[in-house]
Amino acid sequence: MNILITGASGFIGKNLIAQLKNELEIDEIYTYDINTEPYLLDNYCRDADFVYNLAGINRPSDNADFMKGNYEFIVTLLDALKKHKNTCPIMLASSIQAVLDNPYGKSKKAGEDLMLEYSKDTGAKLLIYRFPNVFGKWCRPNYNSVVATFCYNISHNLPINVDDPNYILNLAYIDDVVAELIRVTKEKENRKGVFYEIPVVYRVALGELASQIYSFKDSRIYMTIPKVSDEFTKKLYSTYLSYMQEDSFSYALKMNFDNRGSFTEFIKTPDRGQISVNVSKPGIIKGNHWHHTKHEKFLVVSGTGVIRLRNIYSDKIIEYFVTDEKMEVIDIPVGYTHNIENLGKTDMVTIMWANEFFNRDKPDTYYMEVSI
């Protein structure tokens, strides 16, 4: 199967190309954009089995260029297909603005009408998508995407403008768009009609969008992570991270040192507890306390040691010998005093999860020796 993608160097084009070969059995992907030698379009239209027409202009210096990029190019594309009598399916990237009375919308509607006429005359399958605002990695910031602009500017400590915080945006995520485009290419049965929709579109107020992206930036300060069980939040956070400066991928954590080793809080979540990293020096015992409600999980990832537990109303001591050679999670139930001892000759590293944030005002931690 040979695929022709026009506008291949654009936002949607780059994401589509990155995924196509993972999903379809493809012989060739022909990529065409503004810098491609024009004669190649003729060759590609001769051999293509499917065309994704993503080429277009949405913010030219002159309004007259809207028609040039969104209509006249389609004329050129269709003429090349007609020349070779190639009636392969065509996907057209249009816009929700095609129903609006503005230069961009008019040019998109003109392109749709031309495609519809071509499909009627030739019988070629046509798939028209009126895309909402699409967001995701590799979208150009400070151009025509508010999500890209907000993510880039906030991650680069630049200002953003929120003229109307209550303005509602309709947003589609790039992976959902790509999945839909590939899905219809795979379809063996033709669906009725030529207008198609992206299955998942999110509605979000502009002010809420800005606040959420600012919270992603602040998450490093507070060691939190977004609520990724919410699909939109998960996708928006992934998008935000793709716009960070390359020299700012890392960030330091506050390590609490003493003669026993160190303790470092790593991640805090509002509904899934806290993860920390504990380092114990050889021969050191840490802990000897119990909790009413705080429940913990210990996982030794480097070194060798023993975890001891005792119900505060019992004399029985339970021991779990732990090592990085056999990773094993130990649950620390409430009402059990517990400690962890490094039995090795090197530092022992333990990942610790607790079901709640550490609260200095209400630590729910009570000293009691495990040994009697």
**What positions carry a catalytic annotation?**
104
Pairing of β 285-290 and β 366-367: antiparallel
Alpha helices in the chain (DSSP H): 11-23, 39-47, 64-67, 73-83, 103-122, 146-155, 174-186, 206-222, 231-241
Query: Distance between CA 30 and CA 6 in Å, rounded?
Result: 8
Question: Could you tell me if 25 and 37 are in contact, meaning their C-beta atoms sit under 8 angstroms apart?
Answer: no
Taking CA 228 as the corner, what is the angle to CA 223 and CA 232, rounded to the nearest 5 degrees?
125
List C-alpha distances in Å: 343 to 76, 245, 283, 284, 309.
75, 43, 6, 8, 16
How far out from the chain centre does Cα 289 lie?
Answer: 40
Q: What are phi and psi of 363, to 5 degrees?
A: -75, -20
Question: How many Cα atoms occupy the beta-carbon half-sphere of 166 within 13 Å?
Answer: 0
Task: Give the Cα separation of 44 and 29 in Å (integer).
Answer: 9
Phi/psi-derived region of residue 255, left when phi > 0, alpha when psi is between -120 and 50, beta in every other case: beta
Q: What are phi and psi of 340, to 5 degrees?
A: -135, 130
Q: What are phi and psi of 157, to 5 degrees?
A: 60, 35
Q: How far is CA 282 from CA 98, 190, 322, 340, in A?
A: 69, 68, 14, 11
CA dist 129 and 193 (Å) reads 12
